[in-house]
Chain A
């Protein structure tokens, strides 16, 4: 289906989120939409999928016919379906119910027939999903597959994917891309929204770049990364140089630590993390790295072994004991576990600084907030509610909230969903901390990030932990293999 966007404008109050965007997407192409966080990609896609309506004068033309869509259901009628970044499905319900929900049909749905349809479709696209299973037992990648199947069944001809590669494994990404590459053969159009250059470069037939609500240009392959980055940010951006860390005194040491939860058991981890050092944890989601990190934070009690922090034995101690020694943990779910929605930046800084006495010194708090906003380059005002900030700015705020000094910072997906500029900025701030003696342990599903920023890497695979690998001597391919469970014999795990 041929999609034509003509003079799309959208105002949110005073903010001009989409400025006169005109873009033609021919039938059977995979169109990439690139832009940093807040560039207007999401707004444009929400307009195209009927979630919100553009200002008057804007036009959406499908196969030459101008259409008006008042809801996502309308858009589906016209054959436009969207895969949202956080899957819009129903976790406690069965896969089959999720599939059936919203598909028109008889009053009493025929579950047997639906199961057949489902299995047939799954087979065609090579997905292995059990319709009787519950959605909350699926990974994000599998939930995407379910949504794709549902949209296909609804007869969608234009697929919009919003940051689909965030939070899925490398293997699932490959699977997703193979699936998407089949679509153009059936005259379907794919619109792939991302801020990840390598994904867009490897998948898309053409790319449109948005910046500050405007379409700054379109590109065809072969792509030049440097040029795309310049278009996205309006300036050149380079990754920092890798500098080997000058490791100092031991900060954290694991002595024969064993961990377990309902699904996993990890045995006998031995590790010593030293000052200035950055340790990256790699592995598929749920391979044990989250358990490991929570043990470092004192949130999970090891079932055996000894944890020492700065020479102090903290085995079996609480999170607060860990915190007193200078451990800080930034979980992946920023708004759920890290920040407090509803409170402003000022409130957050006041809370973090733990002022003495019962009365709040608002003026001092405001001054502190202004100072940190400046030094951490946060886009927001001291009175902005935290949830109104973009993801990148929330992450900056979290960093700004960290106490000083700290002995160990634990980060879960520190840059997930952020654009390159924010990623570079956040790591420069973290490296600054390392320079002053702090150690960092972080989890990331981005292997390049792990190799770029860590000194040593631990790989997790279904409860096994590798020996620390030297990041300088490891390649993305090797890491990818280990994550998938291959090549463990050569490196040996911590049992050895």
Chain B
């Protein structure tokens, strides 16, 4: 492989991963507030179909993206209403929605199957795109990929560097403690679930109007991405930057499966296609290895300085979910 192919490949990973990035960011926000939006897989499909249909009918690509966000926000609203106001199980409601939205997308999307629709074009940024390597990697992408970069930064800054973000962390961790600090817990949970849902909804058109343009119904190949995005959210330890990194890692593993096929001819291609999934699980296990008791014991036996170094490293890697994830908040 030449250097050029590698760079084009990596740039392709960044673009192809944009939808997953939106999905994991949305789910991270929602779960940080304490609400699991399990509908993600269905939401992505429905918003991919809806976004495509609207963009095709109106011939307005921006409207397509907005439709996707609206669909995501509406599905999230159902999750929020059922879990926060009606006090129902988030898992049950989310799961049913995941299935319903998927089937709904196939059913409603029938008239749009295989139609040639609008597609986002690459939008090289003047000057920046001429920087060697970096220009090709980051600045010759399409608009939605740029937005995905910005979204990672924005969400990260929001969660870790702003006052409302601090409160968001508190709401998911211990709502009662956030409440005595002045938070309107349930309102905030609604807001973040809906914003998170809108981001998840952006993932759909990011597929159907950009990286995998068009609507192909059951053979669109989009089914399953939502579930992966859910596990990447966990892998990311509910940290937007880490979750985005997980999305890219998954994209990289998939790409590796593709480019290795002609090289590793003795390995069945199915193995290479499936490999990213167990590899993701393996990474997840490695990242959370600090939770295991034997690691604690091994650490205890190490000399002081080494122990401190590893303890710090493991602490930084370890991801613990917001303690009140999925737990309803009631004012006493």
Contacts and interface: CB of A to CB of B under 8 A. Distances in A.
Interface of A: 46, 51-52, 71-73, 76, 82, 84, 88-93, 97, 100-102, 105-109, 260-263, 265
Contact of A263 (B161, B178, B300): B300
Interface stretch (B26-34, B80-88, B165-173, B244-252): B165-173
Contacts of B162: 107-109
Contacts of A91: 173, 323
Contacts of B176: 88
B127 to A, nearest CB: 30
Interface stretch (B4-12, B179-187, B192-200): B179-187
Contact of B179 (A72, A108, A265): A72
7 contacts: A71-B182, A72-B179, A72-B182, A90-B169, A91-B173, A102-B181, A263-B300
Given A46-B332, A262-B300, A90 B174 contact: yes
A100 B182 contact: no
A318 to B, nearest CB: 15
Interface string B59-100: 000000000000000000000000000000000000000000
Contacts of B161: 108-109
A101 B180 contact: no
B177 A105 contact: no
Contact of B180 (A88, A109, A261, A263): A88
Contacts of A89: 174, 177
A92 B296 contact: no
B70 to A, nearest CB: 28
B300 A261 contact: yes
Interface string B309-328: 00000000000100100000
Contact of A101 (B170, B296, B297, B320): B170
Interface in B131-184: 161-164, 166-167, 169-170, 173-174, 176-183
B191 interface: no
Contacts of A46: 332
Interface residues on B, range: 20 to 34
Contact of B296 (A71, A97, A261): A261
B166 A109 contact: yes
Nearest to B321: A92
Nearest to A260: B300
The DSSP consensus for interface residues of chain B is helix
B332 A73 contact: no
A102 B174 contact: no
A76 B176 CA distance: 15
A76 B180 CA distance: 9
Nearest to A76: B182
B166 A262 contact: no
B188 interface: no
Contact of B332 (A51, A97, A260): A51
A262 B297 contact: yes
A93 B296 contact: no
Nearest to B300: A262
Contacts of A73: 180-182
B287 interface: no
B246 to A, nearest CB: 20
B299 interface: yes
Contacts of B178: 101-102
Nearest to A93: B169
A108 B163 CA distance: 6
Interface string B274-310: 0000000000000000000000110110000000000
Nearest to B176: A88
Contacts of B183: 102
A109 B161 CA distance: 7
A93 B173 contact: yes
Contacts of A263: 300
B254 to A, nearest CB: 32
A104 to B, nearest CB: 8
Pick the most buried of A90, A97, A260: most chain B CB atoms within 10 A of its CB.
A90
